[in-house]
Structure 1
Amino acid sequence: MPFRTLQGIRRFPVVLMLFLSAMYGIAMAQAPIKPPSVESFFEHPTLSSAQLSPNARYVAMLVPAKDGYVRLGVMDVVDRVPKVIASFDDADIRQFHWVNNERLVFDAGDRNVGVGNQTQGAGLYAINRDGTEFRQLVDRSVAFLQGPSGSVRSALPWNTSFFSTIHDSDDIYVYQFDVTWGAVKNRSMKPTNLLRLNTKTGRSTIIDRPGLTISWLIDQQGEPRIATTIDGEMESVFYRDPAKNVWRKLAEFNSYTGDGFAPYFFGPDGSLYVRTRHGHDKVSLYRYDLNKNSIDPEPLVSLKGYDFSGSIVHNDKKILGVRFETDADDTKWLDPTMQALQKSVNDLLPSTVNQISVAYHPETSYVLVQSFSDVQPTVYFLYDSATKKLTMLGNSMPQINPQQMSPKDMVRYKARDGLEIPAYLTMPKGAGKNNLPLVVLVHGGPYVRGGSWRWNREVQFLASRGYAVLEPEYRGSTGFGWQHFHVGWKQWGLKMQDDVADGAKWAISQGIADPKRVCIAGASYGGYATLMGLINDPTLYRCGFEWVGVTDINLMYDVNWSDMSNEYLRFGMPVLVGDQEKDAAQLKATSPLENAARIKQPLLLAYGGSDARVPIVHGTKFRDAVKTGNPNVEWIEYPEEGHGWRLEKNNVDFWTRVAKFLDQQIGKPQ
């Protein structure tokens, strides 16, 4: 079955008849004449989520009031009359879930409050789709209050979050995380407790766990069947047999060697599916035989050149298909009817990826479609498979005109040692294809996949200002097989850094980039790579800008108010990054802080004062060190922000400064 990857999507301008229903209370933006403003890229989404009810009769959506907080609305797919059923006067509704056809749960937050200024948890609430039977299930207050004589409170404590629904029930599962997490002297991993909670009565019962459980998996009957535990560097997977109702260990393996498997999904027939390499280079999706305690020899889904990452699409009867990502998102349908339905939708929306969501037990002919591409933010549609008509629900970013956005494609280049490096290249629309200023944007993690063929506000903003953007998937990145990941171990500032530089040199050799106008940038690990790039390759990079970047590996070990667990510091970092004692010389040689005096290029640094992942001491120490010999250093601090910018005003401020910085450094031919 052919996969509809990036190469299979026909490229031509996306023209959509956009409308928003009266419940949104927001006027449609006209197609802009001038280049898009900074604000237009970093506004909050107009429609951030939509979900069908289990019977496909209703669709629930998150939409903001005009100049107000985000509300929860429900619309009958037949009558098409939307109704706001829940809102707060002082908070946004953050996310929601259908419990059953009549009831939903949701939590709260405030997207205009920074991490450092938060004083409340998310809470959890339940309400019927007609707005009746509202109940608070989880407290938002972080104070540990208790009723008289230790009596049970009417709501669960703030450290409780939604986990999973249970089909045909008023019950849900919630998990509780340990409240001492992140404390200076108590950063050891704590178990994640699972509770079954009734959304009408508020009563809950805790589920027995087999050890220090870090993840759970629920079957289609609503029973917890899989628990994954951790003990030091060892993970164990336990299965609770429905016949005996006791936990038995299926497997035990080292968390870092890639020899184990990740429980993924229980099918409607009770089959367990897992993600695993199973002796191969790439991760695939396999069925796990619970009777034989073994993985089937042949995978259900295996992708050429990529690890499997995605989700399973199913209803109450069977698995219908599998979503996955290669160079772009795609779906492999196992059901011929769904394959035909996908074709019908693609014929109507030929220039986008169109992800179809089906109801668990549909009683109507409607499905939900999320449509997106490199130039188009997500647009939500209802599709009637009976009439073959597509109805738009809303656009997440209606102020963005796809015809003004810049195309993105996956490219591959060779590193100096011959390793093939995948990368996404975004070419600024209308700027030509030769001798362009280039921003090499290094993803964080670093042990993640960084790029995707989706609209990215930061990349598109840079491209809108005339910059080509290269996003390398350097060694150590995940998603491209075990070898690609494994050869990145202990290569911070070394071969991982060479891969990034070789990407810039490739762009120059292809005539894409002006060799005198290349800037390196990134956040978190990408910030570290930015600084090391300026140190290692001073003639390649004209400038650099980084935010929330690591400036010294030893600081990651020593700063005791970060959120990294003791287990990761003891077992993970020595293997993946470097051992403080055994690799002391390497860690010093690859420390931006230790080598700050070598950076002479213009540099922009930005940090969040409330960052628990990369505490601001990384930034202040490096700022003080680099400024002694470099007058062209700009420092930005957002006291209320954490590991990245949450507030619109700070995003606009930061990227406005970035645009000015780049214009001064590489905006014009040298």
Structure 2
Amino acid sequence: MQRLAKPLLFAACASLAIAGVAAPAAADHHGETMTATSTTTQAAPMIPRDSLFGNPTRAGGQISPDGKWVSWLAPNDGVLNVWVAPADDPDAARLITSADDRPIRSYFWAPDSKSVLYIQDKGGDENFLLYGIDVESGTETTLTPFENTRVMMIGGSTRIKDKVLVGLNNRDPRLHDVYMLNLNTGELDLVLENAGYAGFMADDNLDLRFAIRQNAAGGMDMFKVVDGVVEDTPSDSTTMEDSLSTGAAGFTNDGKIIYWLDSRGRNTAALIAENVETGEKTIVAESDKADIGGILTDRKTGYVEAYSVNYLKNEWTATDPEIKASLDWLGTQLDGEYGVQSRTEDDRTWLVWNDPVTAPASSYVYDRDANTLTKFYTSRPELAGAPLQPMHPLEIESRDGMTLVSYLTLPPGSDSDGDGVPDEAVPMVMLVHGGPWARDGYGYNSYHQWLANRGYAVLSVNFRGSTGLGKDFINAANLEWSGAMHDDLIDAKNWAVERGVAREDGVAIMGGSYGGYATLVGLTYTPDEFACGVDIVGPSNLETLLETIPPYWEPMVKQFHTRMGDPNTPEGLQLLKDASPLYKADQITKPLLIGQGANDPRVKQAESDQIVSAMQESGIPVTYVLFPDEGHGFAKPTNNIAFNAVTENFLATCLGGRAEPIGDTVAGSTAQIVTGAEYVKGLSAE
């Protein structure tokens, strides 16, 4: 499975010090590159950035519902596009899309197998439109031909194969109206005009069954939809405490059972089946360690066949004997992590992903009748034989007794006995996930492998507020931005130092979105804890962040106010200001690198501009890289590689790891070096 890194903010749904310190003293942190990598790491081959962050050879493989076609993403003239081939002749591939600028990163098959659908925005603005390509003729149609519109997929069907339900916010940017879309003609028929709902749920008959709206407490109300009319009184509700860990997971195809992932009356979300007619609920699966995560359902009936629990690793349990036999057999054939990425309508053929972690990921065609496994592709064959390192799942205890599920990767050759502790302490990068309502997990991670290869331990921590680990863990983060959420990162850093993993004075903090915010918090609120920081599309001012959220998030804004601070009250506004790194910019004494997309709809460019200006006014050095054609993260490989080239040379200066020269990567991207080129080796020449 090809994992594409993506910063998130509000997911589930990311300087001179005090007066008297002279500018040259702060600038000294940007001096000559230190030498800190071990001899064994230096001896390991340097994995090229292009191999880690360039286009995959293939990714995102799928099989059409009728089993006649296979498809995948692969570059054409350097841009990811969709390719299709007959399932019985994968070598007879043809290109069916024509993206020539931004990569296509999400596509799927129409239920009738006649067309391939994909979404695409412009310059990272996240106004995703839906496009369809007729597989036989190659004709492409813009199925949602509107400006400044973001499509939302609401429902598909196993029986009505030429239509889907979509939401469009072209009437009101805050609200998605529901339309029936004919995938073959492009005809759009209005089903329901949205009167203030955050989302909808449909059954296999493509009938709307529920409208979902946030309630005054910050939870969610579910209103039944009967004959196209939303009832006035909610039939089900959650409190704010359960709102991120409870939700409907879908109907059986006959509409008689609705499945819930439900934490109400418990901590971790259980999988619950509710009889729609009687209201009787039955627990299908539960875990005291983590929420029930994914489910696998019967293609014909919609009944659950397997479920997953993701604690240290993601583990599947089958409730159906035939599915269990198939998953067990795959476990005897594949090393490492594996799972189902695509299935035919008759469920006799699967595309299966396999992630060995220390070897490139591959996909296979699994014929369940013949019990054969045929290699489909390897995503990044250039990584075969590269010194990829194992990932160590960890449990770290916070200062108040919470368990922080974390993941550690060590530099090659640094851990001779393989116990997860290097022979001697090494520099470390704390890599903080976005969201914050998301989580890190086990498996191949290009950033872990890259940074470990450059000589650093890499630690990813599921700090409180991370999802999937129970509602108590999520809610422990409420109103704790820059507080207990950050304390968890400091506790994990101290654990690494005390255990002999990291050097006390050699830890960097880095992340995207919320992870970028955490980086800014680290350098402002705890300026002596980290040697340097890399902030990618991170907010610096929580007040202005909430003022500029995308309009289609407004139906969920109560959630943000309850968990972060309500700017409409004096107390809440003060909380937001107290948790905003912008107001402590003059506390920064360590090197800072910032990357920003100019079109970011979640974390506006002003979030980076503000803190850079504040630092400049105080004479504090900062390096700021702006991409005029990117949004919330860097989608184009040339831009991503360019920023990572700057990053690894920045880290080499701070921590002493090794780095590939920047070379022509920045010049070959759209990067604008707004300020601070002189603080990164090889950048000023650009």
TM range (shorter): 0.7 to 0.9
DSSP-derived class of the 2:284 partner: coil
Are the counterparts in 2 of residues 124 and 162 from structure 1 also a CA contact under 8 Å? Answer: no
Q: Which position in structure 2 is the counterpart of 1:452?
A: 441
Report the Cα distance in structure 1 between the residues aligned to 2:151 and 2:518, rounded to whole angstroms. 37
Q: Tell me the CA shift for residue 611 of structure 1.
A: 1.8
Q: Which position in structure 1 is the counterpart of 2:92?
A: 82
Q: Which position in structure 2 is the counterpart of 1:295?
A: 281
- Inter-CA distance 95–493: structure 2 relative to 1 (3 Å threshold): closer
Q: Tell me the CA shift for residue 631 of structure 1.
A: 4.3
Report the Cα distance in structure 1 between the residues aligned to 2:138 and 2:530, rounded to whole angstroms. 60
Q: Which position in structure 2 is the counterpart of 1:341?
A: 326
Q: Which position in structure 2 is the counterpart of 1:506?
A: 495
Q: Which position in structure 1 is the counterpart of 2:265?
A: 279
Q: Which position in structure 2 is the counterpart of 1:519?
A: 508
Matches within 5 A, 1:158-557: 160=151, 163-179=154-170, 189-190=174-175, 192-208=176-192, 211-230=195-214, 233=218, 235-240=220-225, 247-248=230-231, 251-253=235-237, 256-258=240-242, 261-270=246-255, 271-293=257-279, 295-296=281-282, 299-317=283-301, 318-355=303-340, 357-362=342-347, 365-401=348-384, 403-432=386-415, 433=422, 434-449=424-439, 451-557=440-546
Are the counterparts in 2 of residues 99 and 166 from structure 1 also a CA contact under 8 Å? Answer: no
Higher relative contact order (CA 8 A, sep 6+): 2
Q: Tell me the CA shift for residue 438 of structure 1.
A: 0.7
Report the Cα distance in structure 2 between the residues aligned to 1:33 and 1:66, rounded to whole angstroms. 32
Q: Tell me the CA shift for residue 660 of structure 1.
A: 1.0
Q: Tell me the CA shift for residue 576 of structure 1.
A: 0.7
Report the Cα distance in structure 2 between the residues aligned to 1:323 and 1:375, rounded to whole angstroms. 23
DSSP-derived class of the 2:326 partner: helix
Report the Cα distance in structure 1 between the residues aligned to 2:82 and 2:131, rounded to whole angstroms. 15
Q: Tell me the CA shift for residue 539 of structure 1.
A: 2.9
Report the Cα distance in structure 2 between the residues aligned to 1:563 and 1:648, rounded to whole angstroms. 29
Length, aligned pairs only:
601
Q: Which position in structure 1 is the counterpart of 2:67?
A: 56
- Inter-CA distance 589–72: structure 2 relative to 1 (3 Å threshold): same
Are the counterparts in 1 of residues 208 and 228 from structure 2 also a CA contact under 8 Å? Answer: no
Report the Cα distance in structure 1 between the residues aligned to 2:85 and 2:185, rounded to whole angstroms. 23
Percent of aligned positions with the same letter in both sequences? 23
- Inter-CA distance 95–41: structure 2 relative to 1 (3 Å threshold): same
- Inter-CA distance 303–566: structure 2 relative to 1 (3 Å threshold): same
Q: Tell me the CA shift for residue 41 of structure 1.
A: 1.3
Cα deviations across residues 288-337 of structure 1 (Å, max 9, x unaligned)? 221233533xx212123111221323221453222442322232111222
Report the Cα distance in structure 2 between the residues aligned to 1:454 and 1:228, rounded to whole angstroms. 34
Report the Cα distance in structure 1 between the residues aligned to 2:559 and 2:79, rounded to whole angstroms. 44
Are the counterparts in 2 of residues 210 and 247 from structure 1 also a CA contact under 8 Å? Answer: no
Are the counterparts in 1 of residues 164 and 183 from structure 2 also a CA contact under 8 Å? Answer: no
Q: Tell me the CA shift for residue 73 of structure 1.
A: 0.5
DSSP-derived class of the 1:627 partner: helix
1:351 maps to a residue whose letter is G
Report the Cα distance in structure 2 between the residues aligned to 1:521 and 1:181, rounded to whole angstroms. 37
Unpaired stretches in structure 2, ≥5 consecutive residues: 1-42, 416-421, 659-686
Q: Which position in structure 2 is the counterpart of 1:150?
A: none
- Inter-CA distance 214–65: structure 2 relative to 1 (3 Å threshold): same
Report the Cα distance in structure 2 between the residues aligned to 1:127 and 1:584, rounded to whole angstroms. 52
- Inter-CA distance 540–216: structure 2 relative to 1 (3 Å threshold): same
Q: Tell me the CA shift for residue 659 of structure 1.
A: 0.8
Report the Cα distance in structure 2 between the residues aligned to 1:583 and 1:300, rounded to whole angstroms. 40
Q: Tell me the CA shift for residue 352 of structure 1.
A: 2.9
Report the Cα distance in structure 1 between the residues aligned to 2:429 and 2:267, rounded to whole angstroms. 32
Q: 2:137 aligns with which of 132, 140, 148?
A: 132
1:383 maps to a residue whose letter is Y
Report the Cα distance in structure 2 between the residues aligned to 1:163 and 1:564, rounded to whole angstroms. 15
Whether 1:114 aligns to 2:101 is no
Q: Tell me the CA shift for residue 425 of structure 1.
A: 1.3
Are the counterparts in 2 of residues 488 and 496 from structure 1 also a CA contact under 8 Å? Answer: yes
Unpaired stretches in structure 1, ≥5 consecutive residues: 1-31, 144-157, 183-188
Are the counterparts in 1 of residues 107 and 119 from structure 2 also a CA contact under 8 Å? Answer: no
- Inter-CA distance 630–668: structure 2 relative to 1 (3 Å threshold): farther
Q: Tell me the CA shift for residue 199 of structure 1.
A: 2.8
Q: Which position in structure 1 is the counterpart of 2:54?
A: 43
DSSP-derived class of the 2:51 partner: helix
Report the Cα distance in structure 2 between the residues aligned to 1:548 and 1:100, rounded to whole angstroms. 37
Cα deviations across residues 515-550 of structure 1 (Å, max 9, x unaligned)? 121111222222222122223333321111212111
What do you get for the CA RMSD once the two structures are aligned?
3.1
Are the counterparts in 1 of residues 59 and 74 from structure 2 also a CA contact under 8 Å? Answer: yes
- Inter-CA distance 181–358: structure 2 relative to 1 (3 Å threshold): same
Report the Cα distance in structure 1 between the residues aligned to 2:427 and 2:204, rounded to whole angstroms. 52
Report the Cα distance in structure 2 between the residues aligned to 1:473 and 1:177, rounded to whole angstroms. 34
- Inter-CA distance 94–488: structure 2 relative to 1 (3 Å threshold): closer
Q: Tell me the CA shift for residue 574 of structure 1.
A: 3.0
